[in-house]
Amino acid sequence: MSTIPAPPRKPRFHTSALGAGCLLAALFPLPLKAQPPAARPAIPEAPSALDVKRDFGARGDGVTLDTEAIQSAIDRCATDGGGQVTLPAGRFLSGTIRLRSRVTLNLEAGARLVGATNLNSYSQPVVPAYLPEAKWGKWHRGLLVAESAEDITITGPGVIDGNRVFDPTGEERMRGPHTIVFIDCRRFTLRDVTIVDAANYAVFFQASDDVELRNVKVVGGWDGVHWRGAPDRWCHNVKILGCQFHTGDDAIAGRYWNNTVIQDCLINSSCNGIRLIGPATRLTVTGNLFRGPGEQPHRTSGERRRTNMLSGIILQPGAWDATRGPLDEVFIADNVMEAVASPVTLWTKPGNRVGKVTISGLEATGVYRAAFSAESWADEPITNVVLRGVRAEFTGGGEAWTDATVRGPGVDPRPLPAWGFYARNVEHLTLEDVRLSLARDDPRPVIHAEQVGELRLDGVKFPRVPGVMNTIVTNAVGCVIQTP
């Protein structure tokens, strides 16, 4: 059966009344005269993609100084509004390079940026007077330098080689330029690159925010990454994720940190794993492996070439020089430590108060020098320390503690009157589900607590050593709550 189409509708207008012209105008309101096309929105130009060798004549032969070519590429990229500057495969010898806002420096596979041996090839950024380190002048020199810039990225998989450019007139009569230095920067990212043989710190920054190191490998040199703020200008929002550190000095260090995350890293050092020398708030350290001894010798140990690792984590505001500000909201979770002098050492001096520090899910073996400790050497006590779900094996074999007094700390962990945990001047101290063990017998008590307001021991397990009568020693402790 066929479908009969509906009859066409009659027009609403009569040609006899309106005329042909009016009919067309009614049906087609746009004039029949051709109109110019509408202006198209401006299409932004693509960001620069420059090659230092192809576009700027860098040689990359390891002999020619390529500083000027690399700097010209970065400056041109910045002038164009940002983009990427690439170092292709090659060995690019250079003095100080100044990084610019919105520029990515990409080191391709096989690319190696190498520090020039001539110390006159290096310069330093202008350091704001409010930073305590401003007076140190050339100590701030670096191979890659940025100041008052933003949105900078350095990415791999190439290598940045500090080339051990030591300076006999520098710190410790040997330290030369840092490898990467930046001051007063925002949104600085370092990703996938390897840094080797820094003549001082591999990465050093001050008074900067929103910094991320991801999948970075540091081998040799002094500190792996070191950053500092100032009493009135802290560093905010720093992430160190999935990195590897094999350093001759502290792997991670600094002070005046707010909102820091150190996660999923391998930390191997011939000094400390993490050393905090001043205030910090909202510090999270989680899922890391701290492994000693160091694969790179301690730089300033001379002919001894010391490789033993010191503290896994040492929090010591005011230990190096006077600082002011709190240490608070510290969360240390699910870390593993092997062959460290002490697992976690916490002490503070006048000028710094300590709020809450929580250590959870830590497993440590081969702890060879000092117990866990929480010590306030200021008038104000530490507010709250919690150890929960901790397993730690100590080498033991210490000596009986005959001195009735405990001397204040220096800068590194020292033997203490207990082999497992020592506390001094703490308001609330909780050890919950904590198991402490010994490889060899030790004549000291397991726990020594003095000037503690409340000591709570819940499910704390430890071995009984023959001849040791007092396994838990307390002095001026207000309240002890102990459950099996």
Could you read off the pLDDT of 421-452 as tens digits, one per residue?
999 999 999 999 999 999 999 999 999 999 99
In angstroms, rounded to a whole number, what is the distance separating the alpha carbons of residues 428 and 420?
18
Answer whether 70's CB lies under 8 Å from 112's CB: no
Q: What pLDDT is attached to residue 405?
A: 82
- The pLDDT of residue 38 is above 90: no
Q: Domain segments of the chain: what residues?
A: 100-112+148-483
In angstroms, rounded to a whole number, what is the distance separating the alpha carbons of residues 107 and 173?
32
- The stretch 90-114 carries a mean pLDDT of 98
Q: List the one residue out of 217, 181, 224 whose CA is nearest residue 202.
A: 224
pTM assigned to the model? 0.89
Under CATH, what is the fold of the domain 100-112+148-483?
A: Pectate Lyase C-like (2.160.20)
Secondary element (H or E) of residue 23:
helix 15-27
Could you read off the pLDDT of 132-187 as tens digits, one per residue?
998 888 899 999 999 999 999 999 999 999 999 999 998 988 999 999 999 999 99
Q: Strand ranges (DSSP E) for 270-381?
A: 274-276, 280-286, 289-291, 313-315, 327-333, 336-338, 344-348, 356-360, 363-367, 372-376
Could you read off the pLDDT of 212-253 as tens digits, one per residue?
999 999 999 999 999 999 999 999 999 999 999 999 999 999
* Cβ count within 10 A of residue 172: 11
In angstroms, rounded to a whole number, what is the distance separating the alpha carbons of residues 127 and 183?
7
Q: What pLDDT is attached to residue 304?
A: 84
Q: Which residue has the higher pLDDT, 300 or 398?
A: 398
Please list the alpha-helical segments (H only) found in 302-346.
none
Q: Which of 9-18, 81-90, 260-269, 319-328 comes out lowest in average pLDDT?
A: 9-18
Q: What are the residues whose beta carbons fall under 8 Å from the beta carbon of 303, sequence distance 6 or more? A: none
The angle subtended at Cα 168 by Cα 163 and Cα 171, nearest 5°, is: 90
